Amino acid sequence: MQTEELKMQREETTRSADQLEMQQQLMNYQLILTTVNDLIKLKSGILVSIETSYSVEVSKVISSFGSLDSYLNILADDSRKPTRSPLSYQDRQNFKQYIETCFFLLQFVIESQLTVLQIDNLKKIIKVNLSENESIVLKRFAQEDSNQHQLALIKIFNLFSS
C-alpha cells in the first residue's frame, strides 16, 4: 500500500513539475512578447520624433512629400542605386538610433529561448510593424556598413526579398 501511495505521489509530483515548466515557458513568452511590443513602440516613436530633427535640407524634402513614409520611400528608391546615400552626416546620425533599435529588436527575438513556433509568431509581428520602405532602408544601411550580421538578420526575418 505504501508503495502504491509513493508511486501516486511521484506521478503527481511529475505532473506538477510539468505544469510549472509550462507556466514558466508561457511567462517567458509573455515577457518577451511585451518587450518586443515595447521595442516596436520605441522604433515607431523614434521615427516620429526624428522627423522634426532632420537637417533643414531634408526637412524641406519631407515637407514637399508630406510625410516620413514618403521620405523613407525616397531613401528606398535611392537604395536601389549603387551609389552611397546623399544623406548628410547629421541625418545619418539621426537614423543611427532608429537603425540600432530595429536591429536590437531582431537580435533580441533570435536570442530569446523560445520555441520555433513562438519565434515565428514574433517574426510575423515584427514584419507587420515594418513597412517595405523601412525594410529597404535597413538593408541599405547594413549594406553600406558591410555589416554581414545585420544582413543575416534581415534574411532570417525575410524582411526584404531580392
pLDDT single digits (tens) 136-156 = 888 888 888 899 999 999 999
Please indicate, yes or no, if residue 150 is contained in any of the structural domains. yes
The contacts of residue 64 (CB under 8 Å, 6+ apart) are none
Is the Cβ–Cβ distance between 42 and 104 less than 8 Å? Answer: no
Domain span at 152: 29-156
The pLDDT score that the predictor gives to residue 136 is 82
Low-confidence ranges of the chain (pLDDT < 50): 79-84, 162
Total number of domains in the chain = 1
**Entry pTM:** 0.70
Please indicate, yes or no, if residue 147 is contained in any of the structural domains. yes
Please indicate, yes or no, if residue 149 is contained in any of the structural domains. yes
Please indicate, yes or no, if residue 20 is contained in any of the structural domains. no
Please indicate, yes or no, if residue 93 is contained in any of the structural domains. yes
Give the DSSP letter of residue 86: -
